[in-house]
Chains A and B, each alone.
Chain A
Amino acid sequence: MEGSGIGSTIDVAPDLREWTAIRQWLESFCLASGIGRDIRLKLELAAEEWFINVVTHGFAGKADAGRDSQDAAEPLVRLGIGRKRDEVILELVDNGPAYNPLERKDPDITLPVEQRPIGGLGIYLIKNLMDSCRYERLDGCNRLTLRKRIANKSRQPSEGGNEPDDAGSGT
């Protein structure tokens, strides 16, 4: 994650029980970086959808992958987050099988309830809640880079003075 503006990373096991740790990590980063609740909830949602996909499909519930077999690489599930001015970058990396979630076909959200399939909304939500999503397969890892702009009313150069208390804190 060199030079990408990532300020904090966390490595977790491919196990759904790690979700609490991820959420707490995201929350503390947001608090420390002056990122408000609305953006935080969207970042949490993107992270959860990705994480559940990676655990249930990428590693297919194999929390112990790599322990029995000598060939299998140690599973890697890594989240990175950073803030660059008015943008948050969330970088999601795993070394599961190559898979580009962004190529997944969008669900038909106009179907009536009887015909709506259960599931298939996670990636669609990520695409709609983030401002940009990019996928790369790099060094044997899937890497999803998500960007979300932060509306920062206090940073209008034309408006001198009277900034709110939480204006662009500590950057």
Chain B
Amino acid sequence: MMLEVEHEGEMAILRFAGRLDGTTVRQAEERFLPLAEQGTGRFVFDLTGLEYISSAGLRFMLLAAKKTKTLNGRVALHGLTDNVREVFEISGFLSIFPVFSSREEALAYAAER
């Protein structure tokens, strides 16, 4: 898996590519948790390049949702591929995460006060 972090103001944009599974999820946690601990509560997850997610990846997503909630922040997703969207849908995650079709909408939502 590839994970790039970009900062825009007080927002962090995490760009995922490849596979978020039981063997790669720790990388995601290692990037995300320090940001949350420093108080970053506003995130955009760009999943355009994410081909595959398993329950280990969902576990990370839920952790991120819970963390940002306690920080009074927000996490917005965009760019879900068909396979990832299906896994989110089955798991009921489409009602947990605001999912947008464009990066701009996701950024605007995450920045909203």
Which A residues form the contact surface with B (CB < 8 A)? 16-17, 19-20, 38, 41-42, 44-45, 48-49, 52, 107, 109-114, 116, 118-119, 121-122, 124-125, 128-129
Point out the residues of chain A lying under 8 angstroms from B58, CB to CB: 121
| Sampled A-B contacts (30; CB under 8 Å) | A16-B23, A19-B22, A19-B23, A20-B23, A41-B51, A41-B52, A42-B83, A44-B52, A48-B22, A49-B54, A49-B55, A52-B56, A107-B91, A109-B90, A109-B91, A110-B92, A111-B92, A113-B69, A113-B96, A114-B66, A116-B62, A118-B62, A118-B63, A121-B55, A121-B58, A121-B91, A124-B91, A125-B87, A128-B90, A129-B90
Bitwise interface map of B from 49 to 69 toward A, beta carbon under 8 Å scored 1, else 0: 001101110110011011001
Interface size class of chain B, counting residues whose CB lies under 8 Å from the partner chain: 20 to 34
| B residues less than 8 Å from A20 (CB atoms) | 23
**Complex contact A52–B51 (CB within 8 A):** no
